[in-house]
Structures are given as C-alpha cells and as structure tokens.
Amino acid sequence: MRFNKKAALELSITAIVVLIIAITVLGLGIGFIKKQFGAGTQLVEKEISNIKEQLKEQVRTGGELLVFSVPEQVAIGKPQGVVIGVRNTAQSASSDRICFRAEVKCIKPFTPGAQCVSDVTGPVAVGGYDFENKDFVGSAHNWFKSILGEFDLKSFEGDVFDAVMLVRSVKPDSYQMEINVYKAIDDKDCGSSPDFGEKANSLYASKSFILNLV
C-alpha cells in the first residue's frame, strides 16, 4: 500500500514537472512568434512609408499628375497596401483648395469571355468614386477595404493617400486596370458642392496597370 502511494506521488510530481516544462516551452514559442510577427509588421510599415516618401517626392518635383504603387501580385482575401499620389496644377478663385475624385476601374480580365465581376459585363468601377453612377463604389463591387474616393488638394500642391486593397469573390487572373482622377470643373473644394460635369471635361489624369490576382 505504501509502495502504491509512493508511486502515485512520484507520478503526480512527474506530471506536474512535465506540465510546467510544457507551459514554459509554449510561452517561449508564443513570445517568439509575437516577436517575429511584430518584426514583420514593422518591415511592411517601413516599406510602405518609404514608398509614400518616394511618391511624395515624385508629386512635388516630377511632371506627373498621377503616381501610384500597387503590388505586383495580390492574394484574394488578403489586404494589401496601395499608395496613390495626385498633383494639383490649378488654382481656385474661391478658396485655396480644389476637389478631386479618384476611381479605380477594372477593364477586363485576360481570360477570354471572363468578367471583372459576375453581374456586370464590361468595365466596372471597383474602388473609390464611380463616375458613371455618380456615387462611391458599393460593397458588392468594391475591391478595397479603404480608399479615399474624394479629397481636396491645395492650389499647386500634391499629396499621397493610403488605400487598402481587399479583393473577395473574384477568380484568380490577370486584370487590366485603370486609375482615373477627376477635378471639379468649377475649381471648388469638396465642401462647396463642386461641379464635375461630363467625364470628358473633368478627367484630370488616367493611368493603366495590370493586377495579378492569385
């Protein structure tokens, strides 16, 4: 009987020691993962910050009205950082700012017969301000978690804006894309009911790019 009690006690002590070791190892593992994840996040943030500074310099000193940085490859369902920069070359007579609108449009996928979105045939706005429908892109067709579709820019100045692309319910493919920037034709700021008129009159800058969704 004494032997059984002693064996049971030794077994209990062994189990406790094993449990303590397991908890310690788990804690060290979690700490390591957090450290690695934190370092990875900092690297991504630093890279985006560097891109923003480069684009700011392009906007300030370059001759381009529209600059942007989009990842070469975007994973469906995973957020990806995008940076868009616009330079204002006009001056407002009523204020020191002019209203602009940005539109990201999917023109077509490379696969013959395929569509950008399932319920629309042909080009469709997938981020920012949908100029044809005179409204911001709704959630059904939006490929962005966040994007500034309307913004003010000071006269003769430029700025860059962060956006987060988050594509869902879309087939993997290479897509022909377009970024369009529109300027208020009356040079009013966004808070003064600016007039954008017809597309041909307000289209300020436009650039095409290829988006690879995987």
Convert the pLDDT of each residue in 200-209 to its tens digit. 999 999 999 9
Q: Residue 44: which domain range?
A: 1-62
Tokens for 99, please give them.
């209203």
Same domain for 136 and 191? Answer: yes
Q: Indicate the pLDDT class of residue 38, thresholds 50, 70 and 90.
A: low
The 10s digit of each residue's pLDDT in 134-162 is 999 999 999 999 999 999 999 999 999 99
pLDDT at residue 65, rounded to an integer: 93
Same domain for 135 and 38? Answer: no
pLDDT at residue 35, rounded to an integer: 57
With a cut of 80, say whether residue 9 has pLDDT above it.
Answer: no
From 62, 96, 115, give the residue that closes a domain: 62
Burial class for 104, CB neighbours closer than 10 Å (0-12, 13-18, 19+): buried
Same domain for 107 and 49? Answer: no
pLDDT at residue 101, rounded to an integer: 98
Chain mean pLDDT for the chain: 84
Position with higher pLDDT, 43 vs 109: 109
In the beta sheet, which residues pair with residue 206? 180
Same domain for 1 and 25? Answer: yes
pTM for the whole structure: 0.75
pLDDT at residue 33, rounded to an integer: 45
Same domain for 195 and 93? Answer: yes
> Which contacts of 199-205 are long-range, i.e. CB under 8 A and separated by 24 or more positions?
199/131, 199/132, 204/65, 204/66, 204/86, 204/100, 205/64, 205/65, 205/66, 205/86, 205/180, 205/181
Same domain for 97 and 178? Answer: yes
With a cut of 60, say whether residue 6 has pLDDT above it.
Answer: no
